[in-house]
Amino acid sequence: MTTTYPPYTAGTGVSGPGSNNAGTVNWSATGGQQDSYEAFGCKVPDLDPIKTPDWSPAKVYFERKVFTNGVRTFWDGKQVTYWGFEDTIKGKDQKPFPSPLIRLREGDLAHVQLETRTGPHTIHHHGIEPTTMNDGVGHVSFETSGRYVYQWRPRHAGTWFYHCHVNTVLHFEMGLFGLLVVDPPEGWGIPYKDGAAHRYDTEKFWVADDIDPKWHGLNHGAGLCGDDVGLNIFKPKYFLVSGVDKTQTRTHVNSAIRTSQGKKVLIRILNASYSMLGIKIKGLNSELISVDGHALVSPERPWSKAMTIPADTEFHMATAMRHDLWIDTTGVPKGTYTVEFKYYDWITKKVHNAGQGNYEGTAETTITIL
């Protein structure tokens, strides 16, 4: 079967095997047997170099390099520093936000080379189930200020993400995260294995994020060793969808959807904000077909099924959740439909900065059917 690939290709890999990182591992140096508070959460072993213990030639290869000097200017003229992962193969010297997409097929053995000289970091491929050394959770294995090649094989098609797992709360907020999409063996256009019932012609990524500029003035290890730096207080001022300021999301190509009547649309959503996210699609029904990378419609899960979300119904996503929404535009009147995003404070349960204009925790985009 001939497959086509979407116009969004930034961050996809190249053919393996990639960088060879095979070799003997000094297990005692990883600190895996240390159970003190400091070794577990504060002074985790920082290793460079370290080998990939189960290294095998990969089918698909990616590179990610940490940068900590990104600067973006928001709608009010204020500048905020951000961090991220640079794609040194397909996006060298670029500083994207969010970090570039990692995309591959179910069952492909993948290598992701991390390079960082800015302090200890890791990459945790969230929801993927590799060996412990390749899980990227520094607190239970190691961190690196140099280079490491992560090896893993995705077992389920779906929407995932990757992020640094060092001083996780702060580094995620700083921007060290990106989407990870696993296609089924059939390739692009099918959301899950044997998922022709939900074939799609148009695909869009909605990554919701909120930014508290005070956090972006903190240093690499702020709060990591028990010091109180205010990480229990989150007061976002800027709200984004797919890296786009809320003042531009209604029409920006990164967030707005344009498709022809009769086409099938797949929307992959990641809540990368530190808010409870509410989304409402006005005038259009949608189907929730996957949650947190796992299809609700699958021969492996006969007890579950897709869920209809009626038009004008707000649904909610907690931090780090992913939803895949499917919309069939067959017979739907042509026109532009508004999508509302609301960012709710976890404590007050109210929209952030309500009534404060562009500082309010809301955003809009559109779905246009031609």
CB atoms near residue 358 (< 10 Å): 16
User: Per-domain residue ranges for the chain?
Assistant: 14-183, 196-369
Same fold across 14-183 and 196-369: yes
Alpha-carbon distance values, 13 to 21, 97, 151, 206, 301 (Å): 18, 18, 14, 21, 30
Superfamily of chain region 196-369? Cupredoxins -  blue copper proteins (2.60.40.420)
CATH for the 14-183 domain, from 3.40.50.12280, 3.40.640.10, 2.60.40.420, 2.30.30.830: 2.60.40.420
pLDDT score of 118: 84
Produce one character per residue of 303-314: b if its CB has 16 or more CB atoms within 10 Å, e if not: eeebeebeeeee
pLDDT score of 3: 35
pLDDT score of 167: 92
pLDDT score of 33: 54
Q: Which residues in the chain land under pLDDT 50?
A: 1-11
pLDDT score of 263: 97
pLDDT score of 1: 28
Contact 110/181 with Cβ under 8 angstroms? no
Alpha-carbon distance values, 122 to 43, 105, 210, 293, 301 (Å): 14, 23, 22, 21, 33
Kindly write down the DSSP assignment for every residue of 96-142, as one continuous string. Answer: -SSEEEEEEETT--EEEEEE--SS-B--EEET----GGGS--GGGS-
pLDDT in tens, 252-267: 999 999 999 999 999 9
pLDDT score of 46: 75
Tell me how far apart the alpha carbons of residues 24 and 38 are, in angstroms, rounded to a whole number.
27
Contact 327/284 with Cβ under 8 angstroms? yes
